[in-house]
Amino acid sequence: MKSTILSLALILATGLAFAQKKTTTSAIVSFDATTSLDQLPKAENKTVIAALDPKSGNIAFEVNIKNFAFSNPRIQEHFNNAGWMHSDKYPTAVFKGSIINLSSIKFTKDGTYPAEVNGDMTIHGVTQAVKTTGSITVKGKEITANAEFSIKLSDYAVDGSAVGAGKVSKEPKITVTAVF
Amino acid sequence: MRFQCLNMVYLLYMLTTNINPRYKKWLIALFVLLLAGGAAIWWIFTEKFTDTAAVKADHTVNAMDFIKEFKTDLALANKKYTEKIIVVNGTVSEIKYADTTANIIMADTASGAYVIFAFQQQHLAAAKALKVGETVSIKGSCSGGTYSEILETQSISFKRCAVNK
């Protein structure tokens, strides 16, 4: 009897653990907006806040724009100023969405699963609906979410002179990695 | 490089030998101007951030007092510290490993507010060698604080950090 109660309690505790939202303060978002004219506009942000709820499939990211680290000081300055990201006015980029093929992802079984994600992305104060495909890798207690996609800067009203001059790609590639 | 410069000067001399001396000085001036402009553009586009360890800090703070400043007045603290080089003294609360990198966190356990440091490549090994509970001094470029709706607390981010020895 005691062992049955203990087993039930264990199953319940395991279920609750998976129902909990998982978060990290150290997701990585990088972008590559290089062109044949300029190889400098690319950067990485290693302190992105992310959340994943394996039960509901909700997934979210918050990016402090100023924490994108560039190799070149001048490009970093341009990136943050009013002509590009205007990070004083719009300090964060946010994604809120959900995994729509949640039933095909087994969070209790090791493996890599394709994940289709729908959601809203807010960059430069403009919110757009986005749909992308990524992957979820389960290894023991660790869940890793990966995605790679492009955005159109014009969709987010990012249209500085460098973009018009062809020095910054109009459709930069974004790479996201979050380990929960 | 010296040989190339001498070659250019010689070429310039040859090209301007048969030119009216009145125009010659203007052509030389234009050439020097173009050369200087080219050098300036080359310098701007090849410039790299220097090692943070070698940069003089604008402020030195205690981690808990620093977090308190951001909690008290986020806008004021952002104005004071953002894009400045800061030395933060405190205790390592957590080390977050992601991919090949590691971030150090100093957190206020009462509110959950925290400072997070991402390191320059050359200082990553020193960051990974730190232990939770260790008192440490970290120098980095402050990217300011934001309120996280996910974590429901303040987050203050740093980039290009170095363990301050």
Cα–Cα separations (whole angstroms), residue A91 to A126, B72, B145, B148, B150: 13, 18, 9, 12, 16
Say whether residue B155 is in contact with chain A using an 8 A CB cutoff: yes
Task: Indicate the residue type of A35.
Answer: T
Give the domain ranges of chain A.
21-179
Interface with chain A: mutation pick from B67, B143, B152, highest number of A CBs within 10 Å: B143
Q: What pLDDT, on the 0 to 100 scale, is given for residue A14?
A: 45
Write out pLDDT tens, residues A71-124.
889 889 988 988 889 999 999 999 999 999 999 999 999 999 999 999 999 999
Name the band, by pLDDT with cuts 50, 70 and 90, for residue B10: confident
Q: What is the pTM (predicted TM-score) of this model?
A: 0.81
Q: Check CB contact under 8 Å for A72 and B146.
A: no
Instruction: With beta carbons less than 8 A apart as the criterion, state whether A12 and A5 touch.
Output: no
Question: What one-character DSSP code corresponds to residue A109?
Answer: S
Interatomic CA distance for residues B21 and A140, integer angstroms: 81
Within chain B, all domains assigned CATH 2.40.50.140 are found at: 52-163
Radius of gyration for the alpha carbons in chain B, expressed in angstroms and rounded: 25
Say whether residue A143 is in contact with chain B using an 8 A CB cutoff: no
Interatomic CA distance for residues A175 and A45, integer angstroms: 10
Crossing angle, helix B74-81 and helix B63-72, to 10 degrees? 130
Q: How far apart are the CA of B143 and the nearest CA of chain A, in angstroms?
A: 5
Q: What pLDDT, on the 0 to 100 scale, is given for residue A92?
A: 96
Class of domain A21-179: mainly beta
CATH architecture observed for domain B52-163: Beta Barrel (2.40)
